[in-house]
Amino acid sequence: MASRHEPTVVRAATTDGAPPSATAFASRLELCRSALASMRGRFGALVASLGVAEFADDELCVLTDAAVADDELPSFVSFPLTSRMLLVDVLGSSDVRTIAADDYAARYPTVASVVRRPGVHTLVAVGFRADGVTGAVSLGLPVPPDARIRADLQAVAATIGDALARWERHARRDAHAAELQRSLNPGDRSGSTSLVRRCVAVPATPAHAIGGDWYDVFDLPDGRVVAVVGDVAGRGTEAVLTMAQASASIRALLVRDGSPERALEHLDEFCAVSRVVAGTSCVIAVVDAGAGWATVAHAGHPSALVERDGRFEAVRDAHGPLVGFPDGPRRCAHVSLAPGRSLVLVSNGLIAMGAERGVHTPDDLADAAGATTGLPPAMLVAQLLTGWTTAVPPADDVVVVALQHHDPAHPTCSFTDTATPEAITRVRHRVADWLAVTGAALVPQWVVAADVELVVSELMANVVEHAYRGAPPGRVVVEAVAGPAGVEVAVVDDGHWSSQITDTARGHGLAIVRSLASSVTVSSTPYGTVVRARFDAPDGAAV
């Protein structure tokens, strides 16, 4: 069976037929593949195997690389530690053991196929143990090994053990940084019903590239809503800890004063005493939904985008230098945020991803966002990410926060739940309630409410089954919008669908959805998947 043990972390190089020096492979699998290829070249082996013990699971994860090219790259296969195998027999021991190929096949019949390669005369194996990593390597050689080969193999096995141990340390360090980033990122804590929100934050890949990007959405005592997107200098654990300090400082200053430009000025003053958060970039928006205005200030950060007249515009005013490097009084811009209009804040990472396509300014991003005007926040963010980014995971943290002023005249259905089986019924009932309340005024008579409810249920079931497979249930956002032309619903997740599950093979649910809706689109990004279903007017229906 395929192994589960492939945490992602580092990358390094192997040269001159030597075993990997350690530091940086994208995964443990990649590191082990390189080690096997190096051993085959160094010793003239026709087949090489490497096993790593997973004592918590009572398994040995084995990777085998043969001189005969296979259709696929070798992958780990897990065996119980009680299996009759040469690798198990030498596990953790530095003693070299040899066995003739014919004797091997008789003694270990369940894995005899490994040595059934033309020219394999002798199997030689040795174990290794280094800083909590226990494993073994074996080679299929055309001749019995002499003393020099045996000694060399012992040295190579020890080097591989050291490389794997260093990889494990990097993995633990970067997993710790990623967990810190998740736990210290403030997130959306607003209770406002006047603003519909969608916030997306995706850490960089590989994990050691994790930076200090964050977002924070919270309420002020007077009822206004604050949204902050920021980025601190550096990478890894240190950047995450600085992020926590910067976000907490900005929050405290805004709760005290409520003015984004004065909060930045106070932070500049703090940097004169302590340079910990110096170099931070951020954009702060304070939204007064009752008045229909937002106050925005920037500190060395990409412009906020505001929806106006059917398009998005970059907020050009109120730009200043990075925190801690003031060049005069901080400024703010006051922008109109009428009901139904949206305000979008993004991180540097999103701009950098756009640069891969030759577009890399906030104005370019505003143009790309033009097709998303009028959409509720989850649809807006999903379409923006789909059109702007590539399918490649980001090399820098990516954050997007979209705020939409609730429009009572054109109410949207927007809520967040957890992707569990129990949520399917809850979501269906909430959409049904929204249709019942909104239907008389906005939903055309030819829209069949039961069809909309069934479509949402099937899309939710797909998310529950596929989006967070092998991980704890994650977030799912459901949105629906109605108008004279019909109804559109969207189900958005933050998970990672298996590449083996294609658009046409995501269960029977999608087939049902296609049979009921006028059109269905499925968009996947490194940040999740959005499925949108439209119910347009049938031929001959009045619009």
Cα(447)–Cα(444) distance, integer angstroms: 6
pLDDT band at 353 (very low <50, low <70, confident <90, very high): low
- Phi then psi dihedrals of residue 493, to 5 deg: -125, 165
Strands 214-219 and 187-188: parallel
pLDDT at residue 115, as a whole number: 66
The pLDDT, as a whole number, for residue 475 is 87
Nearest-angstrom CA–CA distance, 379 and 198: 9
Return d(Cα 333, Cα 331) in angstroms, integer.
7
Q: Please count the other Cβ atoms lying within 10 Å of the Cβ belonging to residue 17.
A: 12
User: For 401-424, what is each residue's pLDDT tens digit?
Assistant: 999 998 776 677 888 899 999 999
Q: Which of 406, 512, 438, 378 is nearest to 447 (CA)?
A: 438
pLDDT band with cut points at 50, 70 and 90 for residue 510: confident
How many angstroms separate the CA atoms of 222 and 237, rounded? 35
Q: Which residues pair with 125 in a beta bridge?
A: 97, 138
The pLDDT value given to residue 4 = 33
Write down all domains in the chain, each with its CATH number in brackets: 28-180 (3.30.450.40), 187-375 (3.60.40.10), 410-543 (3.30.565.10)
Number of alpha carbons in the 13 Å side-chain half-sphere of residue 494: 20
Q: Which of 43, 45, 49, 78 is nearest to 63 (CA)?
A: 49
The confidence band for 440, taking pLDDT boundaries of 50, 70 and 90, is: low
DSSP character for 465? Answer: I
What letter represents residue 195's amino acid?
L
Backbone torsions φ then ψ of 241, nearest 5 degrees: -65, -40
Question: Does the pLDDT of residue 1 top 70, yes or no?
Answer: no
CA–CA distance, 237 with 214 (Å, rounded to integer): 14
Could you tell me whether strands 413-418 and 195-202 are parallel, antiparallel, or unpaired per DSSP bridges?
Answer: unpaired
Mean pLDDT of 138-163: 94
The string over 313-339, giving b where at least 16 C-beta atoms fall within 10 Å of a residue's C-beta and e elsewhere, is: bbbeebbbbbbbebeeebebbebebee
Q: Which helix (H) or strand (E) holds 226?
A: strand 225-231
- The CA distance from 307 to 67, in Å, is 60
pLDDT at 454: 93
CA dihedral 201, 207, 208, 213 (to 10 degrees): 0
pLDDT (0 to 100) of residue 26: 59
CA distances to 1, 54, 132, 265, 290 from 222, in Å: 58, 55, 55, 22, 11
Cα angle for residues 275, 264, 284 (degrees, 5° grid): 120
**Which of 333, 480, 403 has its CA nearest to residue 190?**
403
Kindly state the tokens that stand for 425: 């019924």
**pLDDT tens for each residue of 19-66:** 333 344 557 888 888 888 889 889 999 888 999 998 888 888 888 876
Q: What angle do CA 74, 78, 83 make, to 5 degrees?
A: 125
- Mean pLDDT across the stretch 6-12? 26
Residue 383 pLDDT: 76
Which residues is 59 bridged to in the sheet?
Answer: 54, 80
Helix, strand, coil share (%) of the chain residues, nearest 5 = 35, 25, 40
For residue 22, the model assigns a pLDDT of 38
Question: For residue 261, what are the contacts with CB-CB under 8 A and spacing of at least 6?
Answer: 297, 318, 329, 330, 331, 332
Bridge partners (DSSP) of residue 256 are: none
Q: Which stretch of 280-284, 331-335, 397-401 has the lowest confidence by average pLDDT?
A: 397-401
Q: Judge contact between 81 and 121, C-beta under 8 A.
A: no
Sign of CA dihedral 144, 145, 146, 150: negative
- Alpha carbon of residue 432 to chain centroid: 32
Task: Give yes or no for a cis peptide into 393 (omega within 30° of 0).
Answer: no
Sheet (strand 195-202) strand order: 195-202, 398-405, 342-346, 305-308, 311-314
Question: Residue 540 pLDDT more than 50?
Answer: no
Strand partners, 312: 307
Task: For 473-486, write each residue's pLDDT tens digit.
Answer: 888 989 888 877 78
Mean pLDDT of 164-189: 81
Cα–Cα distance between 389 and 356 in angstroms, integer? 8
The angle formed by the CA atoms of residues 376, 380 and 381, to the nearest 5 degrees, is 125
What does the pLDDT read at residue 152?
95
Would you call 396 helix, strand, or coil by DSSP? coil
